[in-house]
Amino acid sequence: MKRLFASLFGAASALALAVSPSLASDRYAERPPVMVSPDLSAPWVMQLGQQPGAIRPLKRTPKIRQKRAVQAPAHVQVQPDRQLRTAAVPKPQKRAVRREINPIYLPQQVAYDGPQKPGTIVIDTRDNFLYLVEKNGKARRYGVGTGKPGFEWAGTHKVSQKREWPDWYPPAEMISREKAKGRYLPTHLAGGIENPLGARALYLGSTLYRIHGTNQPWTIGGAVSSGCIRMRNEDVVDLYERVPVGTTVVVM
C-alpha cells in the first residue's frame, strides 16, 4: 500500500515538474473579451447613471495626431545638426476698412462771384467748403470738416501764425468735457501722425480756432470738430504754401 502511494505521489510530482512556468501562465496571456449586451436600451443599462454609486462611462479622450516628419527633396541637403522646419503659415489678419472721401470734397478750381478780394480765405460752414479766392472770378475749393452742433461760429480773423506738425494743447474746457464722457485727453501731445492737428496749422487771430490737418481724413465734409476747420493733410499743406501770415479768413 505504501509502495502504491509512493508511486502515485512520484508520478504527480513528475507531472508537475514537467509543466513549465511559462505554460502555467499561458492561460492568462489572452483574456477573453468582455461581452456587452447588444441591447443598450435594456433597463439595467439605462439605470447605470441613476443608481447611487454607479460608475458612468468615461468620455473618450480625443486622439492627438502626430505630425509626420518632413523629408527634404533629393536636391536639398540638410545639415546633420539642424532639423528641417516647415514654413510658418501667417495668421489671417483682419482687412482694414478703407473709408473713401466723397470726391466733391477733393481740391478743385471753381467759379466764384463773391465780394472778397483775391487771396482771401472764405469758409462755408453750411456746405463744408473752404475757398481760396483767386483772380478772374475763380477760387480754389477744398472740402473741410467744421464745428459740430453747439460749436458753430462765424466771424472774420487773420492768420496770426503758421506751424508745421504743430503740438496740441487741448484747452481745459475740452479736457473737462471729454472727461465727463469717459475719455481722457492729454494736456500736451507732440506733433506727428498721431496728432489730431495733422501736418499743418494756421492760427486764427488770438482765438483757439485753427485751420489744421487731421489724422481722420474720412471726417471731411461733416460737422465733426469743436470749432476748428479741419482739412486733409495734403490739402492743408497745399493751402499752407499758398497763403502768408496776415491772410484774411472769413467764416460764414
DSSP secondary structure string, the chain? Answer: -HHHHHHHHHHHHHHHHHS-HHHHHGGGTSPPPPP--S-TTSHHHHTTTTSTTPPPPPPPPPPPPPPPPPPPPTT----TTS---PPPPPPP-PPPPPPPPPGGGS-EEEE---SSPTT-EEEETTTTEEEEE-STTEEEEEE-BEEPTT----EEEEEEEEEES--B---HHHHHHHHHTT----S-B-SSTTSTT-SEEEEETTSS-EEE--S-GGGTTSEEESSPEE--HHHHHHHHHH--TT-EEEE-
27 in a domain, yes or no?
A: no
Question: What pLDDT is stored for residue 87 in this prediction?
Answer: 45
157 found inside a domain: yes
pTM of the complete model: 0.61
Q: What is the mean pLDDT of residues 53-81?
A: 47
- Indicate whether 248 pLDDT > 80: yes
- Look up 188 and say whether it is catalytic: no
Length of the chain: 252
- The mean pLDDT value for 48-76 works out to 45
Calculate mean pLDDT across residues 208-224.
96
Q: Indicate the number of domains in the chain.
A: 1
237 in a domain, yes or no?
yes
Query: 181 is in which domain, residue-wise?
Result: 103-251
Classify residue 61: in a domain, yes or no.
Answer: no
Report residue 10's pLDDT band, with 50, 70 and 90 as the boundaries.
low
CATH code for position 194 = 2.40.440.10
Is 83 within the bounds of a domain? Answer: no
- Catalytic annotation, pick one of 75, 157, 188, 212: 212
Nearest to 230 by CA among 247, 210, 206, 244: 210
Mean pLDDT of 113-140: 97
Residue 228 annotated to the active site: yes
